[in-house]
Each structure stands twice: as structure tokens, then as C-alpha cells.
């Protein structure tokens, strides 16, 4: 079964980025936005979807006096990402259809 939450291109990219970090490490919203080269609104909407699925944790806090939003992948998110990448590789590796 395809995981429709993570199959969407931008959400898959978000999970790819968070999966690079060590377990428990956070990534700033601004850095994630720079990696993905997208807008605040688009990124925020996809982060909400991933958060509702339990794949990421979003934390809003004060870094000194500056408000900061940061995100990290949950264990379930890392598993879902690994499973989906394996699924995509299976498709790619499968033999072409006979015509």
C-alpha cells in the first residue's frame, strides 16, 4: 500500500531532509525552507499534515528573544520514510512490462 501522506513530493522531501539528522536532532524552519526552496505557507501546510500523521514533531519556542520553529522526525516518521523509499526502489527495479 502506498503511504499517501509521505508519497506527496514536498512531504517526501521534508522527510528526506529530517532523516539526514541524527535521531532526536531538530532542524530550524528557516533552514528547512532554504533546503527545499519553497514558501513559508507551503512548507507550513505540509508540516501540519506530517505532524497530524505522527511523522514529525513541531516545536515553537523562543531562541533568546527570537521566536523559532523547529521540527524533527519521529521514530514512526523515519520508519515510514524508509519503507516508502524501499517501495519506490522496488518499483524502479521491477522488470519493464511486456508489450
Partner 1 sequence: MSPDPSSADREEAGDLLKGVAGVERRTREILVYGRAGDYLILWGALWALGYGFGEHLWPYTHAFWLTLDAIGIAGTSLITYRTASCSAPERRFVFVRPLIGVVVLIAFGSLWIWLAHFGDREQSAFWPTLCGALLFVFGLWAGRALSIAAAIVVALTLAGYFWAGAWFDLWLAVTCGGALVLGGLWLRR
Please provide the DSSP assignment of 32-74 as one string.
Answer: HHHHHT--HHHHHHHHHHHHHTTSEEEEEEEETTEEEEEEEE-
User: Which listed range, 2-10, 44-52, 56-64, 67-75, lies at the site for partner 1 (CB under 8 A)?
Assistant: 2-10
In contact, 61 and 26? CB cutoff 8 Å: no
Instruction: Tell whether residue 2 is a contact of partner 1 (CB under 8 A).
Output: yes
| Size of interface with partner 1, in residues (CB under 8 A) | 26
Report which secondary-structure segment, H or E, holds 3: none
The x, y and z cell numbers of residue 37, run together, are 526552496
Please state the closest distance from residue 50 (CB atom) to partner 1, in A: 14
Instruction: Tell whether residue 58 is a contact of partner 1 (CB under 8 A).
Output: no
Sites of contact with partner 1 (CB under 8 A) = 2, 7, 9, 12-13, 16-17, 19-22, 24-25, 27, 31, 34-36, 85, 88-89, 91-92, 94, 96-97
Amino acid at each position: 500500500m502506498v503511504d499517501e501522506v509521505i508519497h506527496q513530493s514536498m512531504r517526501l522531501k521534508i522527510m528526506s531532509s529530517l532523516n539526514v539528522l541524527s535521531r532526536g536532532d531538530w532542524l530550524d524552519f528557516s533552514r528547512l525552507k532554504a533546503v527545499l526552496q519553497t514558501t513559508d505557507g507551503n512548507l507550513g501546510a505540509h508540516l501540519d499534515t506530517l505532524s497530524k500523521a505522527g511523522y514529525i514533531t513541531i516545536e515553537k519556542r523562543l531562541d533568546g528573544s527570537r521566536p523559532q520553529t523547529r521540527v524533527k522526525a519521529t521514530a514512526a516518521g523515519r520508519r515510514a520514510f524508509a519503507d516508502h523509499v524501499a517501495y519506490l526502489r522496488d518499483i524502479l527495479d521491477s522488470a519493464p512490462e511486456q508489450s
